Amino acid sequence: MAEFAVNNKIHLAIKTSLFMANYGKELRMRADIRRKGKVEKAMEFTERMKKVQEETEAILRKVQEEMKQ
């Protein structure tokens, strides 16, 4: 449960959860893991993940520069 809490928390510096930054989707606990739904195409997922990682990197660089001052 502690790991879930840490990975699901919105962090002030990156303005997203660690799970979202790493996997491109929100971390959820579900009772029914066999839920049928739309499956994202690999290329769409890759592009979305690239954008999330670029945004996170930019925010971290900005925070790093602010901490130097």
Mean per-residue pLDDT pooled into runs of 10, the chain (69 residues) = 72 82 76 55 84 92 91
Residue 25, classed as helix, strand or coil, is coil
Q: Please say whether the dihedral angle defined by the alpha carbons of residues 41, 42, 43 and 46, taken in this order, is positive or negative.
A: positive
> Taking a C-beta distance cutoff of 8 angstroms, is the pair 60, 14 a contact?
yes
Instruction: Return d(Cα 36, Cα 18) in angstroms, integer.
Output: 26
Indicate the domain borders of the chain.
2-23+39-68
> Taking a C-beta distance cutoff of 8 angstroms, is the pair 59, 21 a contact?
no
pLDDT of residue 10: 83
Of 53, 62, 61, 63, nearest in space to 16 by CA: 53
pTM (global) more than 0.75: no
